[in-house]
Chains A and B, each alone.
Chain A
Amino acid sequence: MDDALIPKGVKRCPLPEFLMKLGPVVVVLIWGIVAMFMCWFKGLNQTNMNDSYGFALWIWADLTVIALGGGAFFTGLLRYIIGKDKLKNIINFAVLVGFICYSSALLILAIDIGQPLRGWFIFWHANVHSMLTEVAFCLTCYFGVLTIEYLPLVLENRQVDQVSFFHHLSHNMHEVMPIFAATGAFLSFFHQGSLGGVAGVLFGRPFAFREGILIWPWTFFLFTWSAAAYGPCFTIMLAKITEKITKKKLIKDDVYALLAKISGWMMATYIMAKIIDTWYWAVVTAPSKGQGFMEFYSDNAFYGIWILILEIVVGGVIPAAILITRKGRSTPALLMIAVVLAVIGVSVNRWVMVLQVMAVPVLTFEGWPMYYPSWQEVATTLLPVAYGILLVAFSYRYLPVFPQEAELNPIDLESDETAESVTASETADAKLSPAKA
């Protein structure tokens, strides 16, 4: 039915099957959209946020998807600026994942603010001293960059490509791409960093506050670094999952290995920096405000020292150790474990820097307020996941996302009609959701 749109040299399942398998995803999407409109029309009383938890699940989701989407800028940087040419085989996918992550982040922000109709005041009445302003500007600009990076891929669709203008546009954009990628890296450095700065500058909150250089607290650099380190892991993880679902090898192992190795070393250095930062904070920064290290991990129903261990050891030291060893990253199971742990590690880090910051009491006469999200918050957080799955599925089906696919999966054109269709539609599999959520 839609044969004309499917890239040459690859095979896709019949359209009805594809659409049917996406059904459950669409249901989640609609559920999320309903919740989104409830939040817009009825206000944020639909959430379980409160005056102690002004930031909650959504801001965590924002920080996390942006960290995970960091694979796009870092891979781009490696590919276009550093010249790791091999990564051209994964860059499209990395850009796609990045595009999904960043568009999701912007959508969540648009739901999260109390007055969405005035959201643009953040640009118009910008306070340049606010980390959030920096976030908003860089995020939006970088989303523009991602769109520019994603656009040529769309233009490469068989039908679109037939329009001469688009063909040339795509070609020209590829030519200029290093400049765009450089700009993207510049912007990413600042918004990833400023997201870290969001928590780090809170000098009223000893749990979050960090010293730093000039106006930038250490968390600024730690966030950029961790996004660069962990983002590619997420790209690898999603690519692996896509391979599982499509039951095809889509990217060659040496590409994975290269990215994993770089990611591993980034992670190893990051986690060392993080440990030093934590140590300094625990023995110098926080005590200078009168709060002892263990105060942050006791006297409450949830936050124990386990969360720090989970973040740093389980989600940092272990995956880094796996990825920096040749054996580790070339053993598929270990690689998978490493990237999953890494994704957990960075997600926990973002959780801690948002939700635990809100939870820790500062006034001596206040306790730990506890929070759990309302269904509306959960639904709107799953909304981008569903949307992401759809975008990956459609991109995979109609766009040449994986340059190595045709080579790795040669098809007999004669038997095209009858070939067993293993399709992207299975991306709808629920396995994807928790990984990205």
Chain B
Amino acid sequence: MTALQRLFKFNGGVKPAYNKEASTRLPIAVAPTPTLLVIPLHQSIGGMPRPLVKPGERVLKGQRIGGADGNVSSAVHASTSGTVIAVEMRLMPHTSGLSAMCVVIEPDGRDEWIPHGPFDFRNASPTQIHDYLRDSGVVGLGGAVFPSYLKLNPEKQRNLDTLVLNGAECEPYITCDDVLMRERAATILQGALVMRDMLGAGQVLIGIEDNKPEAIAAMEAAAHAVKTAVGESSVKVVSVPTLYPAGGAKQLIRVLTGIEVPHGKRSTDYGVQCFNVGTAYAIFEAIALGQPLISRIVTVAGNVGQPRNFEVLLGTPMRDLIALCGPLPDSDRVIMGGPMMGLRMPDDSVPVVKAANCVLVGSSDLFPPPPPEMPCIRCGECAKACPADLQPFELYWFARAKIFGKAQEYDLFDCIECGCCAYVCPSHIPLVDYYRFAKSEIWARELAKVSSDEARERYEFRMLREEREKQDHAAKLAAKAVARREKAAAAKTDAAKVATTPEQDEKKALIAAALERVRAQKEQIQPENTINLTPEQVAEVAAIETRRAEIREMAKPHVWQDD
């Protein structure tokens, strides 16, 4: 089943030490329920969900505690039954060390489920599917946590050829997808078939790096079982060469189909949709069992005695997980994710969230502090390693000097922050840090630009209004003066009875004049140089406008479809 698939290559990539064996020796264990669950409301890309519970309230396992807010947002659920003891700011699993709104639940130990049951998606309208998946909180579990309902929206999909299931898992140390595929291959496949039916996709390609032969065998067996049982033959398990970052959604799509999805485009525009195997598993649980996303598989690895994978309730403090694996005394940091892209946690008390595929314990022996940063010698190693075909040293050159426009011209926003460039750099430059810095500066600037445009509009409107009020006021005064004069004149000559009240006419005329002036003024705002242009100039203006639009598009917050 694997033999016939033609594979493609992406440029660049690196082969770091994988260190995956240690955590795959033992099967997945269920982590015990902690004494306190801290469930952040914001666990996906998009808007912060609204809290739906109050302190003191009793919640059941699977009860929605955060409701999706806005077009891109995903619900959050109680991981077990218990009492809400607080809805407050708590330290987030984020490098910034900042806090955000969390629901703190004290479990009652009864683990009592909220009533739930399967969801018949085949007889549901697209809107119902959309709402159901949104409220079941399924997001991409590969690390990007993009809400899955937005990618499973059947209305928008046309001619979807391929559903890619991402089991590549290229980051060192992480094995959560590996063991999930080994142990629960059939469920993953069921989930994949559900997604395929929702999307109306032709084939399902399951891409797995060839350093996970057990997972490939398990998935193949499951695919074979499905084939013999229901004659389903659209599923193919494909072994892909082990090369970091083959598990990036764009890189995997490239390897499996040869299609390159540019930054800012959706893969569905090219007939492909990509999900992580863990997401497929979660989709199956949500659809077939009616269970929202309340737990996930997490690899605990690095500087611990016995690395292992756990099925963890969301909200469990990382400290409790690490304690299960026998942390070593010289541990000095906790990383969420792998060593190439993982985020350094402010401390080990932060909770496991939907994005946490791995809790990596570090020490200065395991991850020594980098040697001093040397100047870039433009050797081009980073360009050779870059899977996005960028020129990292140019990006660095301009990001370091804070010349962000130039960095953007060199396609800063096509960077997926995979870390390959920094990994190979002989000058030990923290390249990715420079890109993160430049990107967040540019986003901040874009936001400032939007709000300043809004302020300009409001200011100009206010100016216009004040001008109008002034003119109205002057008109009123003038009208009054005229009226007074006329009254006096009328009294003097005693010649009364003018058919219509001139006062009103006058006022109307004055208002009309004022409006006319405002209109004329508006017209004058047109800059003179946009009239009488030659066709070339018009074309040039149009070209500039499209370029600007592109830049705006590029500068939009970068959304990974990696799951």
Whether chain B is bound by chain A comes out as no
Residues of chain B having any CB pair with chain A under 8 Å: none
**Which residues of A pack against B, CB within 8 Å?**
none
